[in-house]
Structure 1
Amino acid sequence: MVANANPILKLPAEAPHLLGSLKEHLQRIVLDRQQADGHWHYSLDDNVTMNAEYIFFLRWMEEDDRNLINPLAQFLLNNQLPDGSWNLYFGGSGNLNASIESYLALRLAGYSADHPNLVKAKDFILAHGGIPKARVFTKIWLALFDLYSWEGIPIIPPEIMLSPRGTPFNIYEFSYWSRTVIIPLLILFHFKKMLRLNFTIDELYLKPEDKNDLSFPEALPVDQSWFIKKKIWDWKWINWENVFGTLTQGATLYENVMPIKPLRAQALAKAKKWILKRQEKSGDWGGIVPAMMNSVMALYAMGDNKSSEPILKGLKALERLTRGKSPTIKPHDEEIKNANSATLQSCVSPVWDTGLAALALLECGMNPQSHEMQQARQWLWENRVTHRSDWAYKAKLKPNEPIAAWCFQYHNSNYPDLDDSAVVTLVLHRTGMSLDELKPALNWIFGMQNSDGGWGTFDRDNDQWILNEIPFADLKSLIDPSNPDVTGHVLETLGELGYGKTKAAQRAVRYLKRVQRDNGSWFGRWGVHTLYGTCAAVVGLRKVGEPVEAPYLQRAIHFVVNSQNADGGWGENCDCYRPHVETAVGVSTASQTAWALMALQACRQSSEDFAESIHRGLEFLKTKVSYDGLEEKEFTGTGFPMHFYLRYDGYRNYFPLIALGRLQHSLRM
């Protein structure tokens, strides 16, 4: 094990008491949330498009369940902004796509176009360009209700199912989340099954002639500087967006004009087989709502009866993810007061929550052999994944090499990820599992390292960046390349388990040096944003023995210290994902402050190092104390930069608890 030789931390006289009281408060809160079988499960918030699309799904499937639709619609009304729009995250400005989808969902729920809330929504939508400016996924939903022409959808032909592995455009070059969403869409693109309504939404066009504007939407600029692009596609003289735009127009013409498509039946049959093979026993697909909805709809479009087992199980799985209706997801306190409202979560996070909550308690000195920690260990071990799926096509593993990996959700055994597997492996080791027992987990982690030295999240070498240039990819998130935060988390685990000087770890160090930004920060793929990426990278690098005095780490520390807000906390809002934003700007939050404190604690070289910054950070956390931990309404989790963000309810408590536990080890008590 590589130890960080941190000296005793000198803080003002009142600081140890403050740290101790914060730690005891959060320790009790986190421990109280442990469930009887040993695991933790917190709710998460995303955005209103989940509710809107669930209403679309139910109506399209002709499942007019008012016990579901009415509470889902009420949630939309409750979350409309004063200007008539809906946003993507707490405190964010109105978003065109979320507003169009919420508008249509409320119409489908029975609200008329002259309802005051919808009039305000229409005004916002028109002021921002109306339907022609919407993203691809929004337009697909409109097309499914015959409210937009399929000719304006940049489709992907189903024949891609027949493209062999090893070619740049086969389904396994797409990220796991893209595969599970796109493959059912291929079926929907073919059948174009539509539910025609007794109303239109023509009022969302600025001019009648705008209905003829079928141009593909222009993608928002997204920062892609954080991953290493393969040089094979780096042809300076070619504009790939234009090339793929032309190819997509040709594919759309082929789709809509050609009466005979000789390979279509074979491609559709393969797509359906792929979908059915990957449904979990619970009914889930991929553990994420868009994949689940699309898969059910694809089977229905192909003629499967709604009473068929795959569709019935899929419908039940979606209802199980609906907070306010689910027996397994605890509503927020304000939602309990407003019992006529419900919201669909995009996924659940029990493995992630359990790993981080257990780590927090262990950092605070909880006995690893205690009943609570051994229960957590048993639950985590029992929920490991040991079989191979899509990820195995590129993994560097021997044919019969045993593996153990962990997914984010309860039911996603085909798609474990490196982030969960790293933290769970760390917790299992601390609760008594030997390196021999953990060898299957280490096999998987090492076998999933990318060629560039970093780790992605779900797949190995899933980095064909050219796929993000196709018009369908207006979210620019079709691939899963190496990213700094997951790489940092893996290094933290490898360092703790004694693998910090291995070739794999040193390759990862070189990767992080290569993708560090000029200002010393790192991109945050799964958390907002540079605070998340930088702090994960710094902690991991220190854990494998990288020296604090190294210039690149000094730049990272300088970035963290200079990002501290006047109130003593750290914060960064989701808008910081816009390209060319160089500073972490935003309201201070408990989780982001915790990340910064962990990075500073890992880099102290003397008793005075960062003492003032740390003390101010603790004072900020004190201001956020509430009856159920620390207050935090802000979204600090990331799904897709610029497009989809999350608020994990556990972050406000277990990340600060990890930081407090580590700081307490450094205090002169």
Structure 2
Amino acid sequence: MWKFLSASDSGGHPHLVSLNGNKGRQTWEFDAKAGTPEQRERVEQLRAAFTANRHVQRHSADELLRLQCADKIAAKQHAPPTERIAEGEVPKAEQVEQHLKGAISFYECLQQDDGHFPGDYGGPMFLMPGMVIALYTCGQLDKVLRKEAQAEMVRYLHNHQNSDGGFGLHIEGGSTMFGTALSYVTLRLLGESADTPAATAARNWIHSRGGANYITSWGKFWLAVLGVYSWDGQNPLPPEMWLLPYSSWSGIGYLHPGRFWCHCRMVYLPMSYIYGIRGTCKETPLTAAIRDELYPVPYASIDWNAARSQIAKEDLYYPHPMIQDVLWWVLYKAEAVLLGSRLRKAALAEVMTHIHYEDENTRYVDIGPVNKVINMLCCWFEDPDSLAFKKHLPRLHDYLWVAEDGMKMQGYNGSQLWDTSFAVQAMLDSGLTDVAAGALKKAHAYIEQSQVVTEAAPPLSRYYRHISRGAWPFSSRDHGWPISDCTGEGFKAALGLAALQQPGLVGEGISRERLEAAVRVILSYQNSDGGMATYENTRSFHWLEILNPAETFGDIIVDYSYVECTSACITALSAFDRLYPGSSWSKPIAAALAKAEAFVRRIQRPDGSWYGSWGVCFTYGTWFGATALACRGHTAASDPALHKACSFLVGKQRLDGGWGESYLSCQDKVYSQLEGESHVVNTAWAMMALLAAGYHTIDPKPLHKGAAFLMRAQQASGDWPQQHISGVFNRNCMITYANYRNIFPIWALGLYRRLVLLGHTRDSSSSSSSGQGDRAWLCAVSDFWHNSQPSSKPSKK
């Protein structure tokens, strides 16, 4: 039986390096003796149920984690009411409170001893194949992944094969050559015969689209590494790019990869090394067989020069402009001169310097799963016996997650800090701090332990790194990359915990010096357009997107300003300035807030919505946009932009009272309704946007209906169902946030109960029915619009 291991259980490896005792580390271990016979039988039931329903419900429900927490769940203090709220009934405060108590009590059962909330962060289908190919190339596949893990990976691939035989870019997507060819190769490397039904169906899909030569550029890279695709069919990835001058005075400096978005440059950095040395797996009988299986024509007859530009129509989200094809042709011709030259050797040495810096400054976690495994591969090609390679191997397990659908590779080493920060704000906004006290105390410890307290190794400019001291990362301090919205949300959670009226409830707050370090980082993210980007400032021009070589993803070349990042920074800076008025930071904060508000207003769409770049999609973006403006003191009653945003959301409410948005909104950039019932996460986001804007003082009916839907959807355990996928990156790839189904319904119902049913203002020190005082409100959603409102129930206007 598979066991989830948290920080206290996951140490001990001689090559595992950690800054804080592995706080936040998430791994799974197979133990044949673990669990009771009844639990093992239950696991098989869950697996069978998922497989039987896999084409209807493609998303796993993280049931193995919940099963491991079954004893705590059974012993929890509160459960939601068994009687369902009737259609059309306006919820009562007492009813909502009982639902909230059940929800908080359940969610606390999933929390780990170090304070974080673990959860599935899978979804993309192209991540695990890269790891399997890299391990096979290094001769480490069977050493790192025991047979039980490999069996779970095969289960995962079988469960997420589409009915047409192909595999998608992500678990809910239509079949693509990228997903299908890489998944086919992975099945074969994991021991599946070429004549099984799954392999046969995938191979038929590949052949019917012309063969694996029609895979995207990232797929071409991995197939070339395995030796089943020619490097001549790969558009150039010259490491010499890293020798260009960085300075902008020459103009060419704007093309330096150090100016690219960090995820983009940190993927193409090791890719360029492998390409520069033509790093290829030693041929085996299996790779020779796969090479023949991937193409409907003899391998020797393939025109590799033509294959460089061949992409299946299902994959082509971002077509190459002509200027890019011309550039690739020139660089392709130049390879004959560069390969093996002194310039190439110098470039390769420069690239490896940056790879080692990235590895060491992230404790070999690396910024994400793609560069993680390619960095590892580079270290192996450089020296198979190196300490660097050995340090990479245990960190692979940080990226693996097991659920009832099998074992997957996650899009990060988890979303620990992100989820925990949101969970804290949700529980604080419920007003039920007595119910949540234990969870809040542990979460406070994790948030404190996750703040980045030292800079990456100097000199930062040499390695194109942004400042990081004072920031919060997405996952753990060991990962350490600073992110604007993670810093904003972690910062607000820390301030909210410190402001609780019960002294000593969660422990000593984070010091003023560390808070000011966070303010400094947040201010540093502001771009000239007034908005905030993700990890760094925008360092080059948006028109460089014409050089985007990844046909599958959009907007990857530079780090853009986003409504989500900007909103998180607006609310965080406002909270600090309110807590410490008249500080030395007040003037720079005021200037930054004015510019940030102008940016948020400028990017609002004509229909009133905001496009969400990191969640699905317009409900997500509009929550952030509305929150930002509301935090600046505006209301739907007085601000046309907020009123239009509320009108947009109310117009999308469905007959069941909820909201339900499809991931197609992200890729098509047009609001797309889900089929079937509404989605609890979309519903919560929409409600929170309406509440932030004060729309309930205009018309509370949409909030009543939304709350009733969330209450009806809640399960008897206090959990909510896992529905469609709710995260996204780079416009086109969806990703799982398993904790969202718990966090955001709690947050929305908590705000609804307090603001609509109890009529509290955001600044009041009102009491919940349990007798505990609420925190002093710090703009977690909106603090200011209520200042002119009476503290009694708002009247309908």
Say whether residues 1:101 and 2:182 are aligned partners: yes
Instruction: Provide the C-alpha distance between the structure 2 equivalents of 1:667 and 1:520, rounded to a whole number of angstroms.
Output: 23
* Residue-by-residue CA offset, 1:55-103 (whole Å, 9 max, x unaligned): 2122111113152434322321232222212234454332331111111
Q: Is the CA contact 1:391–1:460 (under 8 Å) kept in the aligned structure 2?
A: no
Residue in 1 that maps onto 2:723: 633
- Find out whether 1:161 has 2:161 as its counterpart: no
Q: How do 1:419-438 and structure 2 match up within 5 A?
A: 419-432=485-498, 433=509, 438=515
Within 5 A, what are the aligned runs for 1:184-195? 184-195=270-281
Match of 1:41 in 2: 118
Which residue is 2:581 aligned to? none
2:411 alignment partner in structure 1: 346
Quote the residue 1:491 is aligned against.
Answer: 570
CA deviation after TM superposition for structure 1 residue 202, in Å: 4.2
Rounded to whole Å, the distance in 1 between the matches of 2:695 and 2:426 is 24
Structure 2 length normalisation: TM-score?
0.73
| Aligned counterpart for 1:595 among listed residues 685, 689, 697 | 685
Greater mean alpha carbon deviation, residues 414-423 or residues 191-200: 191-200
Match of 2:443 in 1: 376
The question of 1:69 aligning with 2:150 is answered yes
The one-letter code of the counterpart of 1:216 is S
Residue 654 of structure 1 is aligned with which of 719, 733, 743?
743
| Residues 1:386 and 2:453 aligned together | yes
Aligned twin of 2:46: none
Q: Which amino acid aligns with 1:483?
A: Y
1:520 to 605, 608, 611: 608
**Alignment partner of 1:150 out of 213, 224, 231:** 231
| Conserved 8 A contact 1:30-1:357 | no
Match of 2:428 among 324, 338, 362: 362
Taking structure 1 as reference, are residues 597 and 221 closer, same or farther at Cα in structure 2, changes over 3 Å only? farther
CA 466–153 in structure 1, closer or farther in 2 if over 3 Å, else same: farther
1:478 and 2:557 aligned: yes
Q: Which residue of 2 aligns with 1:551?
A: 640
Q: Secondary structure at the match of 1:270?
A: helix
Q: Relative to structure 2, which stretch is displaced further, 151-160 or 622-631?
A: 622-631
Mapped partners of 2:691, 2:704: distance in 1: 12
Deviations 1:565-588 (A, max 9, x none): 222211222222234525555552
1:544 is matched by which residue type in structure 2? R
- Distance between the aligned counterparts of 2:330 and 2:754, measured in 1? 63
The residue identity in structure 1 corresponding to 2:309 is F
Tell whether 2:100 aligns with 1:23.
yes
Tell me how far 1:244 sits from its aligned partner: 2.6
List gaps (5 residues or longer) in structure 1.
1-10, 224-238, 325-331, 336-340
1:29 & 1:654 partners in 2: Cα distance?
Answer: 11
| Residues 154-233 of structure 1 aligned to structure 2 (within 5 Å) | 154-166=235-247, 167-195=253-281, 196=283, 197-206=287-296, 212=304, 213-217=306-310
Q: 1:231 maps to what in 2?
A: none
* Amino acid paired to 1:512: V
Q: Retained in 2: the 8 A contact 1:595–1:655?
A: yes
Distance of aligned partners of 1:316 and 1:283 in 2 relative to their CA distance in 1, 3 Å threshold = farther
- Higher alpha-carbon deviation: 108-117 or 433-442: 433-442
Distance in 1, matches of 2:400 and 2:392, equals 13
Paired residues, what number? 625
Cα distance in structure 1, aligned partners of 2:669 and 2:361 = 45
CA contact (8 A) 1:454 1:487 kept: yes
Contact 2:228/2:290 (<8 A) preserved: yes
Given the alignment, which residue of 339, 355, 366 partners 1:286? 366
Asked whether the equivalents of residues 237 and 276 of structure 2 are also in contact (C-alpha less than 8 Å), the reply is no
What is the aligned partner in structure 1 of residue 26 from structure 2?
Answer: none
Change (3 A) 1:381 1:482: same
Match of 2:530 in 1: 453
Residue by residue over 1:91-133, the C-alpha shift from the partner in whole angstroms, topping out at 9 and shown as x without a partner, is 4332331111111111222323222111111222334443233
Q: 1:314 aligns with which of 366, 369, 392?
A: 392
| Alpha-carbon contact 1:222-1:579 (below 8 Å) kept | no
Question: Contact 2:155–2:407 (CA<8 Å) still a contact in 1?
Answer: yes
Q: CA deviation at 1:187?
A: 0.8
Distance between the aligned counterparts of 2:254 and 2:468, measured in 1? 29
Kept in 2: contact 1:155–1:472 (CA 8 A): no
Tell me the distance in 2 between the aligned counterparts of 1:540 and 1:555. 15
Structure-2 residue corresponding to 1:338: none
Q: Distance in 1 between matches of 2:460 and 2:534?
A: 13
Contact 1:216-1:471 at 8 Å conserved across structures: no
Segment of structure 1 superposing worse, 578-587 or 127-136: 578-587
**What is aligned with 1:60?**
137
AA aligned opposite 1:134: I
Tell me the equivalent position of 1:327: none
Residue 327 of structure 2: aligned partner:
247
Indicate how the Cα distance of structure 1 residues 207 and 555 shifts in structure 2: closer, same or farther if over 3 A, else same.
farther
> 1:211/1:498 Cα in 2 relative to 1: closer, same or farther (>3 Å)?
same
Specify whether residues 422 and 395 from structure 1 end up closer, same or farther in structure 2 by C-alpha distance, changes over 3 A only: farther
**Secondary structure of the corresponding residue to residue 321 of structure 2:** helix
Is 2:667 aligned against 1:578? yes
**CA 1:555/1:281 → structure 2, altered by over 3 Å: closer, same or farther?**
closer
Task: Sort the Cα spacing of 1:619 and 1:221 in 2 relative to 1 into closer, same or farther, 3 A.
Answer: farther
Q: Please tell me the residue identity of whatever aligns with 2:206.
A: I
SS at the partner of 1:638?
strand
Alignment root-mean-square deviation, CA = 3.0
| 1:342 aligned counterpart, secondary structure | strand
Aligned to 1:328: none
Give the partner amino acid of 2:625. Answer: A
- Partner residue, 1:530: 618
Give the CA deviation at 1:494: 2.6
* Structure 1 range deviating more: 380-389 or 207-216: 207-216
* TM-score, structure 1 as length reference: 0.86
SS at match of 1:426: helix
- Which residue of 537, 541, 548 maps to 1:464? 541
In structure 2, distance between residues paired with 1:656 and 1:552: 26
Deviations 1:252-308 (A, max 9, x none): 221245556332222111111111122147742434211110101111222x12x42
1:383, CA displacement in angstroms? 1.9
5+ residue gaps in structure 2?
Answer: 1-87, 248-252, 499-508, 579-585, 759-797
User: Over residues 180-227 of structure 1, what are the superposed CA-to-partner deviations in whole Å (9 max), with x where a residue is unaligned?
Assistant: 21111111011112122231444444555665431425696769xxxx
- Pick closer, same or farther for the CA change 1:578–1:391 going to 2, 3 Å: farther
The one-letter code matched in structure 2 to 1:652 is R
* Whole-angstrom distance in 1 between the partners of 2:696 and 2:161: 51
- How far apart in 2 are the matches of 1:660 and 1:151? 57
Q: Which amino acid aligns with 1:345?
A: Q
Q: Does 1:624 align with 2:713?
A: yes
Q: Which amino acid aligns with 1:479?
A: V
| Whole-angstrom distance in 2 between the partners of 1:395 and 1:18 | 55
Contact 1:515 1:522 in 2 (8 A): yes
Contact 1:530 1:584 in 2 (8 A): no
Task: Note the alpha carbon deviations across 1:617-656, whole angstroms, 9 max, x for none.
Answer: 12221332223610023110112221x2111111000111
Shift of residue 240, structure 1, vs aligned partner: 9.0
- Quote the residue 1:614 is aligned against: 703
- Compute the displacement of 1:508 (Å): 0.8
Q: Is the 8 A contact 2:203 2:294 kept in 1?
A: yes
Equivalents in 2 of 1:395, 1:294: separation in Å? Answer: 18
